[in-house]
Amino acid sequence: MCNGCGSTSGSAAQHVAGRMLDAAEREAVQRGCHGALIDTFNPMAAKVYERQGYRPFGTLPDFPIGRSRIFLQKTLADRA
């Protein structure tokens, strides 16, 4: 589990974030995990996660008020 992982903004940072996700997913597979779950309050971050293969499966609107919490998931079994 990686709570509070993040990086700076910008396209270079998106590549860093992608590499961080790849590394975390490889480690998860090595530990026997078959899926990953991410949540974010940032719609731009959600798009980055979707480019990495994550799919949204739920949203909590107004959590906190004025923002939404977006939940995304990805199957890792095919990475083994």
- Tell me the torsion sign for CA atoms 79, 5, 2, 51: negative
Residue 7 has pLDDT above 60, yes or no: no
CA distances from 26 to 4, 67, 76, 78 (A): 19, 31, 9, 11
Instruction: Give the pTM.
Output: 0.77
Q: What distance in Å separates the CA atoms of residue 33 and residue 28, rounded to the nearest whole number?
A: 5
Q: What is the pLDDT of residue 6?
A: 55
pLDDT of 19-71, one tens digit each?
Answer: 999 999 999 999 999 999 999 999 999 999 999 999 999 999 999 899 999 99
The encoded tokens of residue 23 equal: 């590394």
Give the side-chain half-sphere CA count within 13 A for 49. 24
